[in-house]
Structure formats: structure tokens, C-alpha cells
Amino acid sequence: MKHLSDFSASDIQALARADVARALAEDVGPGDLTAALVDSSRNARARILAREAAVICGVAWVEAAVLACDPDARLTWHVTEGQRCQADQVIVEMEGNAQALLTAERTALNFMQMMSAVATKTATFVEAVVGTSAAIVDTRKTLPGLRLAQKYAVKAGGGVNHRIGLYDAVLIKENHIAAAGGVPAVLKRVAETAPQARFVEIEVETLAQLDEALASGATMVLLDNMDIPTLQEAVRRNAGRAVLESSGGVNLDTVRVLAQTGVDRISIGALTKDVKAIDFSMRFDAF
């Protein structure tokens, strides 16, 4: 499977169609009983409005939902992917079969509210570390079945994707180290078992473990739940040898101070797991 960074526009559209197909199957089942109350020959105009300021994300998913229900529907976007909108701003206008637009409504809004929430939260963290060298990075703490959509939204908000899954990169944690027989042994084992990995990262909890990892040739190190003085010392000891990532309990009150220690990356599970949906609504005008 390709990494998200290698996805083309057509790959994104295919991903959106697959996500939407599952969502519509879950929602519509054998048929939309309520939309059937509307004359099947009737057309309508509709518009999606943002009820609050946000970074817009999910354009391909909205289009996939609408076009799956009415392939002849027309959508006119007023806010592009990754662009900020204001409260009460019209995001997109559409025309098509009234039944189809009604059936697509909730699926389209569900994707946009979730993906825009991830993009907006990510952008807030990215803005908080402007002027430092730290990148804001996501994690695997995602909604089951929607990882690529959420990680796509992180990118739309200006963040950086960590590994997509267990298959594309190596993150060695405490239990891996214990099971493999120590830091030198586990790092040696990586070269034998996972030469295709995009990167190899090892987690440490103390400065002594950092020293051991660096001495064993580590090129990326996750500094787990370290306080500010310890992070500063870790950056000093590292002296640019490995990419350093800070993780654990990051919030908007702490992220800039963490970034100012000189770490290269700050990973934040809350970008994708603690998401408050952005409020959107769809309004119809039959004609």
C-alpha cells in the first residue's frame, strides 16, 4: 500500500469513494424511507453552511457522497480544501435530484464535520509552534476504518503524517525492547527483518536509554513523557545525530514550550482521537 504522501488526486478520490460506499451502505441499507416521500422526479438546490470558523477538509468525500446518489448532480465550491472559512459562510452549492441530495446529506456532512475538525485542530497546533523547528505529527490513534481520511485531514491542517500503520515503518517501544533482548539487539534485528521500512524509531523514557539508543546507531528517537529540562538535555546530548520526537500529554498550553526545547517533531494523538465535530448544516430549496 502506498503512503499517503504518495497519493495522487485520483488516489484521494478513490479513497473517498471507498469510504463513502461503506458509509452509505451503513446508512441507507435497502433504501431511504424518508426521502421516498419526495417525488422522485423533483430536483432541488442545496447548500452546505459552516456554523463556525474552521479549516475546510473533506471536499472529495462530499463529492463522492453526492455523486454516488446522483451522478448528474453539480457542485460549486466556494471554499477550497485546506482553506479557512468563517461562521455562516456557504461552503458549497449543489443541484440535483431532490431524493438523492436528501439521501447523501448526512453522509456528506459526517465526513466534512469530522475531517474539518481534524484539520482545524491540527492547524491550531501548527500555528502554536510557528517560529520553531518542530513539526506537528499525528499518531495511529484514529477512528477504525477511517485512518487515511483522518491522516489526510492532518495534512490539510499543515501537520505531518507519522507511520500509516504497522506495515510501513518501525516504532520500537518498551515491550519490543524487552522481548527482543535490549536496545542494541532490537535495532540490529530491524535491519534483518524490515529493510523496507520508511523509517525506524525507538522510544526511550530516560536519558540513559537515549544514550544507549544513540550509541546503537538510532536515527530517530521518541522521547516519551519527558519534562522540559530533560528534553533540553536530550537535545544537547543528541547534538543533531538523530531526529528527536517528543510525545505524551501534549496540549495547547504546553506545545510551544516543548517545541522551544529544540525537538524536531511533536506527536499528538488528540489530533485524531479527541475531535469535536465542526458544525455544518445543509439547506434545501426545491424547484
Active site residues: 106, 141, 173, 203, 224
Give the rounded distance of the alpha carbon of 201 from its chain centre. Answer: 20
Helix ranges (H only) for 4-158 are 9-28, 59-69, 98-128, 147-156
What three-state secondary structure class fits 45?
strand
Helix 147-156 with 98-128: angle, nearest 10 deg: 60
Query: 37: which DSSP letter?
Result: G
3-state secondary structure 190-218: HHHHCCCCCCEEEEECCHHHHHHHHHCCC
Contact 241, 220 (CB under 8 A): no
In order, the DSSP letters of 216-278 are TT-SEEEEES--HHHHHHHHHHHTTSSEEEEESS--TTTHHHHHTTT-SEEE-THHHHS-PPP
